[in-house]
Amino acid sequence: MAAESPSGELNLDEIELQDPSPPPSLRLKAALNACSKSFESGDLGKSDEAVAAVVSFLDSIVDPGDAAIHDAIAENALEEIHHYLSSASSNQTVVEALSLELPKVVVKFVALSDRCREIAESIIDHLVATCSPRDLLSILCEASDTQIRVSKSPSCFIPLLGGISKVFLCIQRRHLEQVKAALPAILEVLYACSLESDDEEKDNYQDLFSTAVGIGKSILAICEKMVGKRKEELHAILGLYVLQNIALVSRSKHANIVSSYCSLVLRFSELLPFCGFSFYGLIMGSDVSSAIDEVSKEDDNDLLAFFSLAVNGAALAVIWGYINNEVAKAAGDQLTAFLDKIRSNRSERWQVIGMLKSILSSIDYSWEIKYHCMDLLASIMDGTNTKEHNDDHEIDFSSFMPSLFTTLQAIQRIMIGASDASLRKKAFATLRKIISDLPSSHRFDMLKALITNSNSPSMIAILIDLVREEIIAERNQGTSSENCQDIHVEKRKGPFWSSYALDLVDLVLKPPKGGPPSLPEDSDPVLSALNLFRFILIMESTGKTNHTGVLTESTLRMAYSEWLLPLRTLVAGVWAENEKDESDLADHIFCALNPVQLRIRS
């Protein structure tokens, strides 16, 4: 009970806040009554102290030190706050003063129980309905900034982001500026929570991003009230916001991400058509570029920094549409027509391959997402005709090579690292299709670059085997062309059925770093290189050709002195060192060296 001094002024020191005998709800009620009286008295100093006393008391309940938090006490405290705020007799000035601090403290109760979360949401909803939207938006954003430094539990932010979503709809003017001011706090919360996702928080994680969908819908509602350039800018911001969220949802580490989050991605995708986005524009990167350009016109580089995953989100939006046709319909797209358009144009296919590289190479996305990304890529490549390329003269092949190289390296890592055999198989098939889609000269350069930059012996062996397949294809094509009198010999020659093939053998058997290859570590690529050399030798001698130059005396001498002799010496030495060793390691070495030794002797 609040005490009064003989002069009639409030004496806050005598309020029984520290008396442990009354129930906490009564002490909180006394603190709230003291708040009302302090504001009625007009003493600003006492008013600030009274508000601080309420906040301090709430903090003592949610953070009681070594004592356990009693859910019932916490729920009663929040109910008392809600009752006070919604009472017809409550002073609006007091409510507005409390609103400065209440969002920060009530969210601390959210994780205690479902009932605490429900009441906390009701408290914030009441503040939204009764306080200045502009002021409350800043308060809620500040509360989010404060809480994210304490906890990244999604449940704590659902009431705050839900409140922001509702406040957006209450703003009467300067809509664009208010949205731009609030988005950094919103996106920082979503980004931070996406990094901490675990199975215990799965439901809260879904609820948090469901609230993020609500924010997107509120922004869309604001867009409908605007016209001209400001509307275009807000549409661009909304589009980037949606793509950022799709990327964040897709980074979830929860099991069965597709079945768990497909409905959520569908709800985000429903907003894409309003932003002028299409699957074609997203996968080609043009929609994201246009949106970024629109936002950057106003020098909003600080805001753009919070859309760092929007490019990934563009690719992922298409991947989700490929996974589930309902998502594609929600995005307003016809998937079949979109895929056919990409398949029919080689330069566009390559651009798509480049767009998908960040998904395939990133450690932030699960194998499940990468499987579907690979499936989309395989589907695009399956529908192509590599023999009919009428647009070759229009394509600057060199401009695509860096991104294609990065994508192929990412696919290699999937072939090596994925535990799912079907994903590894699909990755290998897709890698072959992408390489075969390149013109012959660029195909050779790509395989050489992949071999040179690979740290995996088994992958190098696979790539050398692909080179052998290309040699066979070139030889067959050359043989079939010999009957055509109008085709010159020079035009029949390709980079594989030439001395360049021996350069690849040299890379493996005489590594650039010096010395012979390491055995048994490099047994796989060494064996593949020897097989390739032997194959070329047999092919040229039986066909009475010498396209590769392998039959010239200088080449044969070089092969013997620089490849075979050092390798024979190395194998003999390793064999001798391990011949008497009965360990498993020795068995492994023998198994690896046997085929190499057989090839050298042949």
Q: What pLDDT is stored for residue 63 in this prediction?
A: 79
Q: Which residue has the higher pLDDT, 35 or 114?
A: 114
Same domain, 164 and 116: no
Say whether pLDDT at 347 is over 60.
yes
Same domain, 142 and 103: no
175 within some domain: yes
Say whether pLDDT at 388 is over 70.
no
Q: At a CB cut-off of 8 Å and minimum separation 6, what does 273 contact?
A: 331, 332
Same domain, 186 and 71: no
CA angle 526, 532, 537 (to 5 degrees): 130
Q: For the chain, what is the mean pLDDT?
A: 86
Same domain, 117 and 165: no
Same domain, 166 and 88: no
554 within some domain: no
Dihedral sign, Cα of residue 482, residue 486, residue 488, residue 491? negative
Same domain, 154 and 104: no
How many residues in the chain? 602
Which of 130, 159, 174 is at the close of a domain?
130
Same domain, 190 and 249: yes
Residue range 360-365: mean pLDDT, rounded: 94
- Work out the number of other CB atoms within 10 angstroms of the CB of residue 591: 11
Q: Which residue has the higher pLDDT, 588 or 15?
A: 588
Residue range 386-398: mean pLDDT, rounded: 62
Residue range 333-350: mean pLDDT, rounded: 89
The model's confidence at residue 3, banded by pLDDT at 50, 70 and 90, is very low
Percentages (nearest 5) of helix, strand, coil residues in the chain = 75, 0, 25
Say whether pLDDT at 120 is over 50.
yes
Out of 273-287, 294-308, 332-346, the most confident range is: 273-287
The model's confidence at residue 6, banded by pLDDT at 50, 70 and 90, is very low
Same domain, 147 and 126: no
SS3 (DSSP) at 454:
coil
CA angle 71, 67, 61 (to 5 degrees): 50
Same domain, 124 and 180: no
Which of 332, 367, 385 is at the close of a domain?
332
Say whether pLDDT at 450 is over 90.
yes
Say whether pLDDT at 218 is over 80.
yes
- Per-residue pLDDT of 133-170, as tens digits, reads 999 999 999 999 999 998 889 999 999 999 999 999 99
244 within some domain: yes
202 within some domain: yes
- Per-residue pLDDT of 419-429, as tens digits, reads 999 999 999 99
Name the packing angle between helices 367-382 and 257-269 (round to 10°): 70
293 within some domain: yes
Write the DSSP assignment of 176-236 as a string of letters. Answer: HHHHHHHHHHHHHHHHHHHHT--GGGHHHHHHHHHHHHHHHHHHHHHHTT--HHHHHHHHH
Range of the domain at 319: 132-332
301 within some domain: yes
Task: Name the domain count of the chain.
Answer: 2
Same domain, 77 and 142: no
Phi, psi torsion values for 4, nearest 5 degrees: -120, 145
Q: Which amino acid belongs to residue 524?
A: D
CA 219 to CA 169: how far, in whole Å? Answer: 8
484 within some domain: no
35 within some domain: yes
Same domain, 180 and 105: no
CA 74 to CA 142: how far, in whole Å? Answer: 23
Q: Rg of the chain's alpha carbons, rounded to an integer?
A: 34
Residue range 81-98: mean pLDDT, rounded: 87
Q: What pLDDT is stored for residue 568 in this prediction?
A: 81
- Work out the number of other CB atoms within 10 angstroms of the CB of residue 287: 25
Which of 267, 301, 332 is at the close of a domain?
332
In this structure, of 307-311, 524-528, 575-579, the range with the lowest mean pLDDT score is 575-579
- Write out 421-433 in H/E/C secondary structure: HHHHHHHHHHHHH
Same domain, 81 and 29: yes
